[in-house]
Amino acid sequence: ADVEHTLLLIKPDAVRRGLVGEILSRVERKGLRIRALELRTIDDDLARRHYAEHAAKPFFADLVAFITSGPLVAAVIEGPRAVETLRTLMGSTDPVAAPPGTIRGDFGLLVTENLVHGSDSVTSAAREIALFFPHFAADA
Ligand code: DAT
Ligand code: MG
């Protein structure tokens, strides 16, 4: 009943730096489960839909260019309070403010290249999972 699903993106900077295994390992060691996993380069249309809430922000064009700049790893992560748990593992948006022990705190320096995305609510997670994994079925 308490099980949630959330969307994890290991962004192109993290893939380029060879941090895919490190990041997935942290998620698994926490006790969360990988329910879907894919390496892909997303197009402009998917990037804009995924980040629609930021469409009016000054950094939107750079954000879309960055997230489409190379392969990323998309995953559906499952577990009790998975949304909040993944956000805690990630650390805050600005890696300089993220504490050591978090993914962004340990590996990031720039807000523009902050390694990971995690859905910010159960509602966002459902929307984002449907964008990246349209055939995903939580109870399959
Ligand atoms: P989060 O990724 O922690 O959910 P967000 O949803 O506020 O953060 O922003 C989405 C992404 O946009 C973020 O991971 C990096 C980029 N971003 C956010 N704020 C920014 C800023 N002030 N300048 C440049 N990029 C920014
Ligand atoms: Mg966000």
- Report the chain (140 residues): mean pLDDT per 10 consecutive residues: 92 99 98 98 98 98 98 98 98 98 98 98 98 93
pTM, rounded to two decimals: 0.98
* Residue located via tokens 């308490």: 2
* Residue located via tokens 């879309």: 64
Predicted confidence at residue 140, as pLDDT, reads: 77
- Residue 5 annotated to the active site: no
Report ipTM (2 d.p.): 0.98
Helix axes 82-90, 20-30, angle to 10 degrees: 130
- Separation CA 70–CA 40 (nearest Å): 8
- Determine if ligand 1 sits within 6 Å of the CB of residue 59: yes
Helix axes 82-90, 122-132, angle to 10 degrees: 80
Predicted confidence at residue 77, as pLDDT, reads: 98
**Quick one: which of 104, 74, 76 has its CA closest to 90?**
104
Question: Whose Cα sits closest to atom 12 in ligand 1?
Answer: 63
User: Which amino acid does the sequence have at 32?
Assistant: L
Question: What six digits make up the tokens of 7?
Answer: 């969307």
- Determine if ligand 1 sits within 6 Å of the CB of residue 88: no
Predicted confidence at residue 1, as pLDDT, reads: 54
**Quick one: which of 83, 86, 82, 99 has its CA closest to 23?**
86
